[in-house]
Structures are given as C-alpha cells and as structure tokens.
Structure 1
Amino acid sequence: MTIARDAWGEALPDWVLRLAEECAASSQNKVAGQMNRSASLVSAVLRAKYLGDMQAVEEIVRGLFFATTIRCPALGEISTATCRDWMRAAASFSNVNSERVRMYRACRTCPRMKKEASA
C-alpha cells in the first residue's frame, strides 16, 4: 500500500487503494490473475504509471472487489469485470462452444459494447 500512497499522494482513488490492499493480502501476481490481466499492469497502476485505459482498470477492480454489477441482456446481473471479459472475447468470432457464440451475438448488439467502441 505504501507504493500506491507514495505514487498517487492525496489523489489516491478508493479503487487503487483497494487494489493495493488486495495485493498486500496476497500478491500482485495473484490479483492480476483474478483480473485476467498482467502483473505488470497491476504494478503500473499502483505506481500511477499506467498509460492505458485507467477507466477500464477501475471498472475491473470495482467489479471484482467492490461487487459492482450491470444488467446484461443475455446473462442477467453480472459483474462489470465479467462483462468486460465477454466484450473482449466478442471482439472476434469463435465457435468454440454455444455460449461463446451466444455471447458474441449478444455483446455485438449491446449498447454498452457500442459505448466502449465509440470511446
């Protein structure tokens, strides 16, 4: 947590603090695995050096550790992290299984996916 506090200072967001707490309780590598992201991404966020979409990381952290949910037209109430994972999977078609095909179709017509694409 010290790394995050030093890097972010007074502007430390609650979700970065929570990410740091989760890393302190286990490890950056384990937390990154839960997020389906790399440990280097987690490290960069904690050090306020991440150059990617910080809003996307915030959504993943809130979905995992704050239990933030959204209403999915295909699956019902799901975490924002699960939604984001399905949107990533729906970026390209794959008929590996019927659920993947169903989610590809659902995500492609979802207003949330369209919002992400236009951002």
Structure 2
Amino acid sequence: MASTNNPKVPVALPAEVKAALEAAVRRLGTQTRAAEELGVSAAVVNNLLKDRYLGNVATMADRIRGQFMAETVRCPVLGELSKRDCLDNQQRPLVFTNALRSRLFQACKTCPNRRDAS
C-alpha cells in the first residue's frame, strides 16, 4: 500500500536572491565554490538554482543575503554581523568552556533574528 504522506514541494528563491546566487556562481566560476562560500553542498546550490530545493528556502535565502548581498542584522551579543554569520551562530552547540558561545547560546534562543531550523 502506498504512503498517503504528501512529498515536500520545492519552493523557488525570491528573484533578487536567486539573481545574487547566479551572480556569485558566475563571479566564483563554479557552483562548488559558491557552495563553499555559503557553507553548503554544491547539490544544494544546484537545486536552489533549478528551483528544486526541498529544504528550508527561507533560511537559505537569508544565508545568500548575508553572504552575497551583504545584509546584516543586529546581534545582542556581537553587534552588527552578516545574516550568514547569525545563522551559523544559531546552529552552534552550547560550550560551557567558551564564555562567548555560552552568551550566544542564551541570547539566540529569544533573539528576534532567530530562524528556527527545519
């Protein structure tokens, strides 16, 4: 019997974000280099460009805005930083031996810039 669960439907990046990603691929020469700059796999970049990405497109759009469009956010701990760095800090685990990471872990939980991973 076939599963009744609906598969995820791909969502396209906003046009200006997709254009920035395409420009980054042209500037860097390959999708692999653009992926390395974003901190994701080349397959993710390829799927984003072909509007077939099944993951959290909003989070990827924020990463692209932070890395290739120079968008920033105001962090309560670090001050102004790129959206990409903000997302990276949100994903880092709590480390009790690092005071900065402990402060970030606590602040990120209630920060208005928080992007829940999904």
Q: TM-score, normalised by structure 1?
A: 0.77
Q: Which residue number in structure 2 is paired with residue 47 of structure 1?
A: 50
Structure 1 CA distance for aligned equivalents of residues 97 and 85 of structure 2? 18
Structure 1 CA distance for aligned equivalents of residues 88 and 23 of structure 2? 23
Q: How does 1:2-21 map to 2 (within 5 A)?
A: 13-21=15-23
Structure 1 CA distance for aligned equivalents of residues 75 and 69 of structure 2? 18
Gaps of 5+ in 2: 1-11
Q: TM-score, normalised by structure 2?
A: 0.77
Gaps of 5+ in 1: 1-7
Greater length-normalized contact order (CA 8 Å, ≥ 6 residues apart): 2
Residues 118/58 of structure 1: CA separation in 2 closer, same or farther (3 Å cut):
closer
Q: Greater helix percent: which structure? A: 1
Residue by residue, what CA displacement relative to the aligned partner does 1:3-58 show, whole Å, maximum 9, x if unpaired? xxxxx7xx970111110111122221111111111111001000110011111111
What is the total number of aligned residue pairs between the two structures? 106
Residues 84/105 of structure 1: CA separation in 2 closer, same or farther (3 Å cut):
same
**Hey, which bits of structure 1, 4+ residues long, moved more than 4 A?**
none
Q: Does the residue aligned with 1:85 lie in a helix, a strand or coil? A: helix
Q: Which residue number in structure 1 is paired with residue 86 of structure 2?
A: 83
